Amino acid sequence: MLPSHSNFSGKIHGGYILNLMDQIAFACASKHCGHYCVTASVNKVDFLHPVEVGQLLHLRASVNYTGKTSMVIGVRVESEDIKTGQINHCNSSYLTMVAKDDNGRNVNVPGLIINNAEGVRRYVRSIWRYDEAKQRKARFNEQTFKSEDYVKLLKEHNIKLEDV
């Protein structure tokens, strides 16, 4: 990592790391399906450990799930101190990539071949994340959400409720 990649505190800028994660997810997804892919979503990203200028960054990507035209790509980022050899897990995330044809239309992707327990775990975890996101979206739908059902919950948090 170069000084030009750092933020005001001298650490590597999180946005730069996200850019690298998107690039590696694109390469992984495109290689799997043989088509150009675009990013549809990025699942939660927690920055677990800062990356220092001068460290090496290792990014690993895997296809964790395949739908009809989309894939979930798991990306793991680790930093390595080149002097000590110490490796730190910096972050992991899941990017949903959609395959496109030459005209920009969605195109079917090949299914995933799973040949070990880790592959099963990753696939099932992707199914659960998808189901949880669908439930969250339905629970907080603008047409059906009733704020009065949650006012009591909000009173336990660091906010001031006015006229709710």
Per residue in 118-136, pLDDT (tens digit) is: 999 999 999 999 999 889 8
CATH number for the domain formed by residue range(s) 3-110? 3.10.129.10
Say what the pTM is.
0.86
Where in the chain are the domains?
Answer: 3-110
Closest by CA position to 42, among listed 56, 60, 22: 22
Query: Cα(22)–Cα(27) distance, rounded to whole angstroms?
Result: 9
Instruction: Please give the mean pLDDT across all residues of the chain.
Output: 94
pLDDT digit string, tens, across residues 27-59:
999 999 999 999 999 998 999 999 999 999 999
Look at residue 164 in the predicted model and tell me its pLDDT: 64
CB-neighbour burial class of residue 50 (10 A; exposed 0-12, middle 13-18, buried 19+): middle
Q: Which of 70-79, 85-94, 104-113, 148-157 has the lowest mean pLDDT?
A: 148-157
140: exposed, middle or buried (Cβ count in 10 Å: 0-12, 13-18, 19+): exposed
Is the pLDDT at 83 greater than 90? The verdict is yes
CA distance 145 to 151: 12
Query: Does the structure show a pLDDT above 80 at 100?
Result: yes
pLDDT at 63: 97
- Pure H helices in 34-149: 117-139
Tokens standing for 90? 């910096």
